[in-house]
């Protein structure tokens, strides 16, 4: 949003000259954003086992060994590249901890683009229901959560993903389009379409949209 001012070429030169240093700076710069991404994407089953910070740390080490790849082929902006690395680390961590049960062919095939965890709907549902915390609401919440999750599953994957990118990862439209490898204009259209669909789901569930 507010950090893409540097000319890509200048940045690449800088990176080339001092990969370690620039990576550290950039990583620190984007740390909060990446943290948010990890925090959102982390499977709840990993609760207590791994921490977003651990993943960021691991991803950082990974990024530092792979920086040469980026220099060879800077196909995306640096942030998106970092996000991809973080995403791959997340997958690895999920695999390590949750074992192979999560793998299925479909997901493997999609792994390159929409890397992250399988429980996106679950996460979205949690966030949407977030402020219903009083005990009387708790039982209701559980019920609603199931309903909501099912509804969210009915969204198509791209719609769900673009909502996640825009709202939970807080990417700009441009960045989201980069991640999804589509034109910015298309990304924007999809985004608004997804909002419409989400709304049609949400109105059926009391208490979220008045």
Partner 1 sequence: MSSPDSPQSIKNLTPPETTDLDRVADEFIAKIRQGEKPTIPEYVNRYPELASEIEEFFPAILALEGGKYTAQTPGKVSLGASAPEQLGDFKIVREIGRGGMGVVYEAIQESLNRRVALKLLPRHSLLDDKQLKRFRREAELTASLHHTNIVPVFGVGENGNFHYYVMQLIEGLGLDELTQKLVATAANTDLKSQTIKPGSQTHTSTDISTALDETVEFQRSEISEVAGQSSADFAKFVSTPAKIAELGIQAANALQYAHDRGILHRDIKPGNLLLDREGLLCITDFGLARAAEQSDLSKSTDIVGTLGYMAPEMFRGETCRQSDIYGLGITLYELLTKQYAIERTSRHVMIEQITHGTIPSLRRINPRIPRDLETIILKAIAPDTKHRYQSASELASDLHRFLENRPIRAKRVSLLESLWRWSCRNPAVASLSGLALLLMLALGISLAVGFERERRERKRAESTAQLATNALDRLFDRFVPARLHTTEVSGAGDGYAEPILSRESADLLAGMVQFYEQLAESTGEQEEFQNKAANAQRKVGDIHRRLGDFSSALASYQKSLHLYQQNTGEANALIIATLYNEIGRIYRYLGQQNEATLAHKRAEKLLEATLVADQEQNDLQFELARTFFLKVIQLRPDQLGNAISEIERPSPPDGSMPAAEDRIQLQQAIDILENLSKSDQTNPEYRYLLALCLQEQLPAEYVRSTQDQGKQARALEILETLVEEHPHVADYRQAVVKSYERIDIRRVNPEEIDENVIGRLEQAIQHASRLVSDYPTIPEYKISLIHAHNKLAHGLDKMTRLSGASNEIRTRHDTAELSLRTALRLQKELTLQFPEAPEHRLWMAKFEAGLAEILYKKGSETEAISLLKSAINILQLELKTDPHSYPVYRELSGATEGLARIYHHVGNEVESWIMWDQYDQLMEDFKQKFPHAALPMSDESHSSRHGGLHPLQHRRPHRGPNRPGPPRF
Which residues contact residue 83 at a Cβ distance below 8 angstroms, ignoring those fewer than 6 apart?
Answer: 34, 37, 169, 179
- Retrieve residue 48's tokens: 């207590």
Instruction: Tell me the C-alpha distance between 15 and 19, whole Å.
Output: 5
Instruction: Return the number of the residue (21 or 110) whose C-beta is nearest partner 1.
Output: 21
- Retrieve residue 54's tokens: 């651990």
Instruction: Return the number of the residue (6 or 157) whose C-beta is nearest partner 1.
Output: 6
Is 191 within 8 Å of 166 (Cβ atoms)? yes
Which residues contact residue 210 at a Cβ distance below 8 angstroms, ignoring those fewer than 6 apart?
Answer: none
Instruction: Return the number of the residue (91 or 155) whose C-beta is nearest partner 1.
Output: 155
Is 56 within 8 Å of 31 (Cβ atoms)? yes
Closest distance of CB 203 from partner 1, Å: 8
Residues in contact with partner 1 by CB under 8 A are 1-6, 20-21, 23-24, 27-28, 31, 35, 39, 42-44, 46-54, 56-57, 60-61, 72-73, 123-124, 126-131, 133, 163, 166-168, 170, 172-173, 185, 188-189, 191-193, 195-196, 198-199, 202, 208-209
Instruction: Return the number of the residue (69 or 106) whose C-beta is nearest partner 1.
Output: 69
- What is the C-alpha radius of gyration for the chain, rounded to an integer number of angstroms? 18
Is 88 within 8 Å of 41 (Cβ atoms)? no
Instruction: Return the number of the residue (1 or 118) whose C-beta is nearest partner 1.
Output: 1
């Amino acid at each position: 949003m507010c950090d893409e001012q540097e000319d890509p070429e200048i940045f690449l030169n800088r990176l080339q000259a001092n990969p370690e240093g620039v990576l550290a700076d950039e990583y620190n710069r984007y740390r909060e954003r990446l943290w948010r991404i990890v925090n959102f994407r982390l499977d709840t089953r990993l609760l207590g086992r791994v921490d977003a910070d651990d993943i960021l740390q691991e991803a950082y080490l990974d990024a530092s060994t792979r920086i040469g790849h980026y220099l060879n082929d800077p196909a995306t902006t640096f942030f998106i590249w970092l996000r991809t690395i973080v995403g791959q680390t997340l997958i690895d961590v999920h695999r390590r901890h949750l074992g192979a049960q999560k793998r299925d062919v479909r997901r493997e095939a999609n792994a390159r683009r929409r890397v992250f965890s399988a429980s996106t709907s679950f996460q979205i549902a949690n966030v949407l229901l977030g402020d219903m915390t009083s005990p009387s609401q708790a039982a209701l919440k559980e019920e609603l959560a199931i309903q909501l999750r099912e509804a969210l599953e009915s969204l198509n994957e791209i719609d769900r993903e673009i909502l996640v990118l825009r709202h939970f990862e807080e990417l700009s439209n441009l960045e989201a389009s980069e991640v999804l490898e589509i034109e910015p204009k298309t990304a924007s259209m999809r985004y608004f379409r997804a909002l419409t669909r989400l709304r049609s789901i949400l109105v059926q569930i009391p208490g979220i949209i008045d």
